[in-house]
Amino acid sequence: MGESTTRTAPHSGGTGTGPVGSRTGQRLSGLAVALGIVLFLGAFAWGAVLYRPYTVPTSSMSPTIAAGDRVMAERVDGDEVRRGDVVVFKDTAWVSNALVVKRVVAVGGDTVSCCTKGKLTVNGKQIDEPYLPAGSVAEDKVIPTVTVPKGRLFLLGDERQGSLDSSAHLSDAAGGTVSQNAVRARVDAVVWPMKGMLKKPTGFQTLGPLSTPGPLRTIVVLIVAGAVLVLGGGAYGPIAQRVGGRSRTRTEPARAH
């Protein structure tokens, strides 16, 4: 006499015709996608408001920033600029139709000269400048003592020998200085190639407070977190379907013996 056996699916598996995964899982994945979109788009919008990308055309800021590097610069007012900042500015006395990227070494009221024992001197203090190219001098020509007028800045390139900076404009009416109102933004990081955040210009700490970097790192973290949530939440359905398909067994008759 023949007999038959059946294999039954787990009670919780259902017929497989409904939505994939548990309701709780579906809700959490939807929440993850929604939150991810908010973080991703919100961080991008925040970054677009605060930052602007620039491509540096020359090597005058080498090795900190090489020719062709893409930088992210935070929009700031000129009165927020501090010694040691790398800034983007426009001064038609220097270049008529282009933006310039240089490092601020002195602000209004400072006296600056070079060189004392091979170092830049600001307000009588010798400044350590580790960002200069290895083995290079602080300046390849003599800078007589310059008193920077209020509301103006004295700027140098990190590649001092090839940089057309304040030292090259000493004979101008402004004595090589630039109005702080000419500043468009302060460089926070080199993003292409990925060199990361600029190092703190610690040599200027003895003269006063340094600038605090903008929220670029936070913005990047939020963008990455948003992308992870969107991808993770979106992947829940296919993963649940695949796992459920493996664990679900179909009811089928066995051959009679």
Collapsing DSSP to helix, strand or coil, 257 comes out as: coil
Q: How far apart are CA 104 and CA 166, in angstroms?
A: 10
Is residue 12 annotated as a catalytic residue, yes or no? no
Catalytic residue among 29, 59, 60, 163: 60
Place of tokens 């020359």: 58
Max distance between CA atoms of the chain, in angstroms, equals 114
Q: How far apart are CA 98 and CA 168, in angstroms?
A: 17
Q: How far apart are CA 72 and CA 237, in angstroms?
A: 38
Judge contact between 107 and 153, C-beta under 8 A. Answer: yes
Q: Tokens in use for 142?
A: 């003599």
As annotated, the active-site residues are 60
